[in-house]
């Protein structure tokens, strides 16, 4: 992949896609192709076929997906399954038809069984039942992994898959109805501080353990893998370190500067007890995450809430 190679980033406006875009630009890549979802609906087979015929990209980062937290996954099960399957099917198949040199498909740590041994090794895929609250999304992502493997096996396509852990960073989703835990915590504590609320109520009991990766670290890993990884199986991307949701809440509370009480609503679901990625494989290849969780959250909070409010 050279700096003048034609590169298509599917989902360039999302958190992951925009981070990959920034990373490539910082490295001097100048021939990057993008389309807004209003211009190109990746669920539309004819539209995706026409796009590939017109643009003929050499490399593809497949970061487009319908994503959300526990609540959104529970409510919009059909949408999460259908939309993600269609996006993947269209982009991967057209990449094969138009002889894309290499494609990187991005999945999620939720592909692993709910009660898989920890940390999660790549070989644990399909060894047990999935977490029910995000099963449709996980099934779609597993299908994407297997699709890349099948096209590699049958057609010798250089299609690879990377499975990142929980992500956060610029362009995250802060809608409390369908966001992930870290942005939801940032927004809840910030609004509680601004509104001088005496307490903040959080979902579950705070016991689940989670790992968090800054999206700029993921983007660096994606570019690294595009250059260095050509194997059949998917590869994990994470920090290899986790903390409890309760510990995360206290960290966010401190960073935001909220002084009220934290209450836990144990009637709400916890989700998977633990999701720590085994990142031995990518670490041994020479890549490691660099942005600490505290540093990353501070930067995100200042950019999203403090600088944003000052600009207004």
Is 203 marked within a binding site?
yes
Gap between the Cα atoms of 269 and 192, Å rounded: 22
Active site residues per annotation: 137
Gap between the Cα atoms of 190 and 182, Å rounded: 12
Is 287 marked within a binding site?
no
Strand extents, DSSP E, 26-131: 32-33, 59-62, 102-106
Is 169 marked within a binding site?
no
Is 166 marked within a binding site?
yes
Is 309 marked within a binding site?
no
Is 164 marked within a binding site?
yes
**Which one-letter DSSP state was computed for residue 42?**
T
Q: Are 104 and 222 in contact (CB under 8 A)?
A: yes
Is 133 marked within a binding site?
no
Respond yes or no on whether the N-terminal peptide bond of residue 119 is cis (omega within 30° of 0).
yes
Is 188 marked within a binding site?
yes
Contacts 24+ apart (CB under 8 A), 278-281: 278/119, 278/120, 278/121, 278/122, 278/236, 278/240, 279/119, 279/236, 279/237, 279/238, 279/239, 279/240, 280/121, 281/122, 281/235, 281/236
Is 11 marked within a binding site?
yes
Q: Are 230 and 165 in contact (CB under 8 A)?
A: no
Is 108 marked within a binding site?
yes
Gap between the Cα atoms of 238 and 201, Å rounded: 29
∠ CA 214-216-220 to the nearest 5 degrees?
120
Task: State the burial class of residue 134 (Cβ atoms within 10 Å of its Cβ: 0-12, 13-18, 19+).
Answer: buried
* Element of type H or E holding 166: strand 166-168
Is 144 marked within a binding site?
no
Is 180 marked within a binding site?
yes
Is 13 marked within a binding site?
yes
Is 246 marked within a binding site?
no
Is 210 marked within a binding site?
yes
Q: Which residues are annotated as a binding site for NADP(+)?
A: 11-17, 106-109, 141, 164-167, 180
Going by the annotation, the residues of the binding site for substrate are 188, 203, 210
Enumerate the known binding-site residues.
Answer: 11-17, 106-109, 141, 164-167, 180, 188, 203, 210
């Amino acid at each position: 992949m050279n700096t003048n190679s034609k590169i298509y980033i599917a989902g360039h406006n999302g958190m992951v896609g925009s981070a990959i875009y920034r990373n490539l630009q910082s490295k001097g890549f100048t021939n990057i192709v993008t389309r807004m979802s209003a211009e190109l609906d990746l669920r539309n087979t004819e539209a995706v076929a026409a796009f590939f015929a017109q643009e003929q990209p050499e490399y593809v980062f497949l970061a487009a997906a319908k994503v959300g937290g526990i609540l959104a996954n529970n409510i919009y099960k059909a949408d999460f399954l259908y939309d993600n399957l269609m996006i993947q099917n269209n982009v991967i198949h057209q990449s094969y038809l138009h002889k894309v040199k290499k494609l990187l498909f991005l999945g999620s740590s939720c592909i692993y069984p709910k009660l898989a041994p920890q940390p999660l090794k790549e070989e644990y895929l399909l060894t047990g039942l999935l977490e029910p609250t995000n099963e449709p999304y996980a099934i779609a992502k597993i299908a994407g992994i297997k699709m890349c493997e099948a096209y590699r096996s049958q057609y010798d396509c250089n299609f690879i898959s990377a499975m990142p852990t929980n992500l956060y960073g610029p362009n995250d989703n802060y809608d409390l109805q369908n966001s992930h835990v870290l942005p939801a915590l940032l927004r809840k504590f910030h609004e509680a501080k601004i509104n001088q609320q005496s307490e903040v109520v959080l979902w579950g009991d705070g016991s689940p353990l989670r790992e968090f990766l800054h999206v700029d670290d993921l983007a660096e890993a994606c570019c690294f893998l595009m250059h260095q990884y050509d194997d059949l199986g998917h590869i994990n991307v994470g920090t290899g370190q986790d903390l409890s949701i309760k510990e995360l809440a206290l960290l966010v509370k401190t960073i935001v500067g909220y002084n009220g009480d934290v209450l836990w609503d144990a009637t709400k679901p916890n989700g998977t007890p633990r999701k720590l990625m085994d990142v031995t494989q990518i670490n041994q290849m020479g890549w490691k995450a660099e942005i600490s969780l505290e540093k990353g959250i501070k930067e995100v909070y200042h950019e999203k809430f403090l600088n944003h409010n000052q600009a207004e």
